[in-house]
Structure 1
Amino acid sequence: MHTLAAQLPVPFYRGVPEVTFGVDMVSTAGGQACATMTPTAAIAVAGSDVLHQGALGILIDDTSAYAALTGRSPRQWGVSSVINVDFHAPVTSSSGRFESQAGFISRTGDWGFAAGTVRDGHGALIATVDQRMRYLPGDSSVHEKPWAPLRAADTLPPLDDILQPVHREARRAEFRLQTGPHLANPLGAMHGGIGLCVSEMAARVAWNEMVADEGVSFHTSNLRTTYVRPGDLSHDLDVRVQVVHASRSFVVLEVAILNRDAMPVVIALSTLHRSDGEWVVR
């Protein structure tokens, strides 16, 4: 394993997901990448000042991916393979503008690794992040086109509306993900940040609806998202949630986002902790 002495520049394309989720330009210098995100009303949990934690997915994926891309070789591009997120503080409407920073860590063969943080507008640590990327033959031409227009922000429906419940039982739930341009990466497949966002939401929503005690709620403490194949956005996608372990203090759930042929696009493992008391963050 080695760290490259020199990193390559990465052109940034601000697509529809970046516009709709309020992610500004991602900049890279050396092996570092940084970006900011101004939250919108669409990413709030209905009836509260809490934002969906997974709504940070575009910001997290873009920043960690661009940091990893600085470590590619000439005539290579990359695809996200695994993104791991640990949440350390709640995401609320008072959090202000989020800032994400990530740095290239290492490369082994055609695999790269980057890690970073997300902080809110007050400097509080919201999440720590790492991403493993697969480098592939290719170039940056797909990113070298005009940015999505700002009016694209109007295409994002409330996140509460894009996941429609289909079936629920004691330890299992199914949703239907409504697709649209707000989900697409520059190649037209599902954006990796959307896969992270939907996985976080599906696990948390499913479990909190399964809990019998209405006075108890759980928040996402860790989410490990593995990208298996491109998500086909020509049709709605199925999302299945299965409880792997449950106790009074924490729960582990597996989420699968599936194409029409029932083949997985994303497989995620989500750990939720009981939300009693306040989060204490340094």
Structure 2
Amino acid sequence: MQQLRFLGSGPEDLFEVSGLRQCSDGVGGLMTLGAWGRGADGRLAVGALGVLADEVLGYALMASLPQDEWSISTEIWLDVVSELPGPGVDLVGHATPVQTGAFSTGEIRDGRGRLLVSCRQRGRSVSRPDEDAVAAAPSVAPAAADGIEAVLGLRAAADGWVLDARPELANPKGMLHGGISLAASEAVATRARVDRGSSLRTTSVHIVHTRGIPAGASVVFDVEHRHAGRTLWVTHVVGRVDGKVGTVATITAG
């Protein structure tokens, strides 16, 4: 395994992710939940865990690569296995590489060790970011808004929900952070479900990143309910930039 050098990012600061560390078998990290993480249904948004998951899963992949190689996510899965806690709880993420530079698995637990979310990631190797540019980036204050939609800056538009990829939502490569696009996809799926009168909670999220989305771009999310039942709900959310698909997510609730 390579000796990792962790690079900070705006999404880590915004979502209160800290304490990233290399372990003997992978990577660990911490996160503090705030009221900012609530979704449209009043519960902790599963997407609020996306940045923590992407960080530990992605760095676990990097650890399995040759020295100084980097990894970006192509697919991320989050599967909820226990009821998520409310604000003020510290969470612990941990991930290990399964296939060198290509696939990692992980989990998110509460401070008592209770398993909350099982997670997976596929990634691909890219060049390492410019560390001088990352170091020069301004710091970002932790999220203060009440609710994940406000934190992300999601806004309704005639053709769907829009996310402006502000610089503070970018990864060290200057692209929209994979955990942020996951959070936005899950947030708009939850909003659409609530607007249809459903009280079901998100149980899983799967997102595919088909192309990088640069900071400064505007992402339009289209929502399509593939199944809208009393006990099970399946929603597809597609994110496009200038008409080109950048993300495809499936959100299940039950």
Q: TM-score, normalised by structure 2?
A: 0.88
Q: Which segment is superposed worse, 125-134 or 230-239?
A: 230-239
Which residue of the partner structure matches residue 191 of structure 2?
205
Match of 1:116 in 2: 106
8 A contact 1:15–1:147 mirrored in 2:
no
Which of 34, 41, 55 in structure 1 is aligned with 2:28?
Answer: 34
Relative distance call for 1:183 and 1:151 in structure 2 (3 A) is: closer
Deviation track 1:211-247 (CA, whole Å, cap 9, x = no partner) reads 3xxxx40111111111111113324321111112232
* Residues 155-164 or 127-136, more deviating: 155-164
Q: Does 1:132 find its partner at 2:118?
A: no
1:132, distance to aligned residue in structure 2 (A): 0.8
Alignment equivalent of 2:245, drawn from 239, 264, 269: 264
Q: In the superposition, relative to structure 1, how do residues 113 and 47 fare at CA in structure 2: closer, same or farther (>3 Å)?
A: closer
2:154 is matched with which residue: 134, 149, 163? 163
Q: Does 1:19 align with 2:8?
A: no
- 1:82·1:225 contact (CA, 8 Å) conserved in 2? yes
Deviations 1:40-81 (A, max 9, x none): 332234794x32221111100000001111111345322111
Question: 1:103 is paired with a residue of what secondary structure?
Answer: strand
2:243 and 2:31 map into 1 onto residues whose CA distance is: 33
Match of residue 276 from structure 1: none
Contact 2:3 2:67 in 1 (8 A): no
Distance in 2 between residues matched to 1:64 and 1:52, nearest whole Å: 19
Matching residue's letter, 2:80: F
CA contact (8 A) 1:91 1:126 kept: yes
Given the alignment of the two structures, is residue 189 of structure 1 paired with residue 175 of structure 2, yes or no?
Answer: yes
What do residues 102-128 of structure 1 show as CA deviations (whole Å, max 9, x unaligned)? 111123xxx511101001223221100
Q: Is the 8 A contact 2:189 2:237 kept in 1?
A: yes
Q: TM-score, normalised by structure 1?
A: 0.80
In structure 2, the residue corresponding to 1:73 is in which secondary structure? coil
Q: Secondary structure at the match of 1:93?
A: coil
Which amino acid in structure 1 is aligned with residue 244 of structure 2? Answer: M
Check 1:190–1:228 CA distance in 2 against 1; reply closer, same or farther (3 A cut): same
Q: Which sections of structure 2, spanning at least 5 residues, go unmatched?
A: none
- Using a 3 Å threshold, how does the CA distance of structure 1 residues 143 and 224 change in structure 2: closer, same or farther? farther
8 Å CA contact retained: 2:20, 2:29: yes
CA distance in structure 2 between the partners assigned to 1:181 and 1:87 by the alignment:
30
Q: Which residue of 2 aligns with 1:4?
A: none
* 2-structure distance, mates of 1:89, 1:207: 21
Unaligned runs of 5+ in 1: 1-6, 168-172, 274-282
**Deviation at 1:20?**
0.9
**Contact 2:14–2:141 (Cα < 8 Å) also in 1:** yes
8 Å Cα contact 1:96/1:121 also seen in 2: yes
Q: Which amino acid aligns with 1:61?
A: D
Of all paired residues, the percent bearing the same amino acid is: 26
Q: Which letter does structure 1 place at the counterpart of 2:18?
A: D
Find the aligned partners of 1:200 and 1:141 in 2 and give their Cα distance.
31
Are the aligned partners of 1:11 and 1:140 in contact in 2 as well (CA < 8 Å)?
no
Residue aligning to 1:280? none
Which has the higher Rg, Structure 1 or Structure 2?
A: 1
Aligned length: 252
> Structure 1 CA distance, aligned partners of 2:121 and 2:228?
27
What's the offset of the Cα at 1:193? 0.6
Q: Is the 8 A contact 1:239 1:258 kept in 2?
A: yes
